[in-house]
C-alpha cells in the first residue's frame, strides 16, 4: 500500500467542498451512513481519554465529531483543507478548546508525542500515501495514546460492483486497489483497504494492541437498499446484528468500511 500515488491523483478537496452544505444532514437522511456513523462513534467513544485530553481530528470536515468530543471537555485540533467544510465548521463556533489547521494532512506539522487520541474518520484513504500517513498519526500520539481510523473496504466495494453488474470494474478495482468517489460532477481518488493491509500498516507504524473490524458488515449481504429497509423496519435490531457480526475478525472485509485502532507503546 505504501507506494506514493502519481501527481495526477484526483484530490478530494473540491468534491468535499461541494458536498459540505448537505454533509451533516446526509448522516441523518441516509440509513447506511447513519448506521456506520453510529457504529464508528461507539468504538471511538471507548478510546477517548479518561480525563481532559488532546484529540487530533484529521480531515475533520464540518467538525461534527469535534463538537461531541469538545462537549465532553477535551481539546481538539482539527486538520482540514476543503474550503466548504471549513466554512461549515466555522459556522459551528466550536469555541476556544478547538483549533483548526487549514492544511493538507500530508504536509501539516504537528507536535510529536502529544495527542491522547488521533482520529481520521473517512479521510486518510484520500491521502496520496496512507501508509506514511498512519506512521505520522502514530508519531503524533503520546506513549499510551491511541490512533483510530476508518477507511473504505475493497472487498465490500467489489461485492457491490458485482451486484450491480459492473464486473470489469470489480476486477479493475481489485487489481488497482483504488477507487473513485464521484459526487455532483466532482471526483476524488481513494485507496481501498482490506483488513490484512490495514493491520500491516498499523504494525509498520509501531502501534500495538491493534484491532480491526468491519463497519456495517451486513451491508454486503443486504446491499444498500436492503440495508435501508432493514434499518427502517428495526434500526436497533439491524445495528445489534452488525455489532455481533463485526466481533468476528473474519467478517471485517465485508464491512462497508474498515475501522482500525491501536496504541502507541
Ligand atoms: C468523508 S469526509 C469525513 C469528514 C469527517 N471526518 C466526518 O467524519 O464527518 C473526508 C474529509 O477528509 C478531508 N480530507 C481529504 N483529504 C485530505 C487531506 N489530504 N488533508 C486534509 N483533509 C483531507 C476532506 O476534505 C473531508 O472533509
Ligand 1 pocket, residue 24 CB under 6 Å: no
Ligand 1 pocket, residue 81 CB under 6 Å: yes
Ligand 1 pocket, residue 11 CB under 6 Å: no
Q: Tell whether the model's pLDDT for residue 22 goes beyond 80.
A: yes
Burial 94-118 (b: 16+ CB within 10 A, else e): beebbebbeeebeebebeeeebbbb
Ligand 1 pocket, residue 125 CB under 6 Å: no
Alpha helices in 30-63 (DSSP H): 31-47
Burial 15-29 (b: 16+ CB within 10 A, else e): bbbbbbeebbeeeee
Give the position of cell 461541494. 18
Ligand 1 pocket, residue 127 CB under 6 Å: yes
CB neighbour list of residue 172: distance below 8 Å, 6 or more residues apart? none
What order of strands is seen across the sheet that includes strand 257-263? 98-102, 75-80, 54-58, 115-121, 141-152, 257-263, 208-215
Ligand 1 pocket, residue 105 CB under 6 Å: yes
Nearest atom of ligand 1 to the alpha carbon of 27 = 9
Ligand 1 pocket, residue 48 CB under 6 Å: no
Contact between 115 and 142 under an 8 Å Cβ cutoff? The reply is: yes
Between the CA of 128 and the centroid of ligand 1 the distance, in Å, is 13
Element holding 208 (H helix, E strand): strand 208-215
Between the CA of 80 and the centroid of ligand 1 the distance, in Å, is 6
Contact between 171 and 113 under an 8 Å Cβ cutoff? The reply is: no
Ligand 1 pocket, residue 69 CB under 6 Å: no
Contact between 218 and 242 under an 8 Å Cβ cutoff? The reply is: yes
Q: Say what the pTM is.
A: 0.95
Ligand 1 pocket, residue 88 CB under 6 Å: no
Distance from C-alpha of 15 to C-alpha of 30, rounded to nearest angstrom: 19
Q: Tell whether the model's pLDDT for residue 227 goes beyond 90.
A: no
H helix and E strand count, the chain: 9, 9
Give the range among 85-89, 166-170, 216-220 with minimum mean pLDDT: 216-220
Nearest atom of ligand 1 to the alpha carbon of 82 = 25
Contact between 188 and 16 under an 8 Å Cβ cutoff? The reply is: yes
Quick: pLDDT tens for 5-16. Answer: 456 889 899 999
- What value does the mean pLDDT take over residues 201-223? 93
- pLDDT band of residue 4 (cuts 50, 70, 90) is very low
| Mutate-to-test residue for ligand 1 from 24, 57, 61, 102, highest number of ligand atoms within 8 A of CB | 61
Looking at residue 30, what is its pLDDT?
78
Q: Tell whether the model's pLDDT for residue 88 goes beyond 70.
A: yes
Amino acid at each position: 500500500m505504501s507506494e506514493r500515488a502519481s501527481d495526477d491523483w484526483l484530490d478530494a478537496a473540491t468534491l468535499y467542498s461541494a458536498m459540505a452544505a448537505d454533509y451533516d444532514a446526509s448522516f441523518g437522511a441516509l440509513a447506511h451512513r447513519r448506521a456506520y456513523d453510529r457504529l464508528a462513534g461507539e468504538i471511538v467513544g471507548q478510546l477517548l481519554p479518561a480525563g481532559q485530553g488532546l484529540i487530533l481530528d484529521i480531515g475533520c470536515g464540518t467538525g461534527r465529531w469535534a463538537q461531541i468530543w469538545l462537549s465532553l471537555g477535551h481539546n481538539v485540533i482539527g486538520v482540514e483543507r476543503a474550503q466548504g467544510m471549513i466554512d461549515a465548521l466555522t459556522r459551528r463556533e466550536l469555541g476556544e478548546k478547538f483549533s483548526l489547521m487549514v492544511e493538507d494532512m500530508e504536509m501539516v506539522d504537528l507536535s510529536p508525542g502529544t495527542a491522547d487520541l488521533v482520529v481520521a474518520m473517512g479521510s486518510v484513504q484520500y491521502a496520496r500515501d496512507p501508509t506514511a500517513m498512519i506512521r505520522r498519526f502514530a508519531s503524533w500520539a503520546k506513549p499510551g495514546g491511541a490512533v483510530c481510523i476508518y477507511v473504505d473496504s475493497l472487498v465490500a466495494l467489489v461485492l457491490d460492483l458485482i451486484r450491480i453488474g459492473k464486473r470489469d470494474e470489480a476486477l479493475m478495482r481489485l487489481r488497482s486497489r483504488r477507487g473513485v468517489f464521484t459526487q455532483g460532477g466532482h471526483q476524488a481518488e481513494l485507496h481501498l483497504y482490506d483488513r490484512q493491509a490495514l493491520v500491516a500498516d498499523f504494525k509498520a507504524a509501531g502501534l500495538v494492541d491493534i484491532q480491526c473490524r468491519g463497519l456495517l458488515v451486513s451491508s454486503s449481504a443486504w446491499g444498500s437498499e436492503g440495508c435501508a429497509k432493514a434499518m427502517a423496519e428495526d434500526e436497533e435490531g439491524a445495528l445489534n446484528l452488525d455489532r455481533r457480526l463485526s466481533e468476528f475478525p473474519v467478517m471485517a472485509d465485508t464491512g462497508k468500511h474498515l475501522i482500525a485502532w491501536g496504541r502507541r507503546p
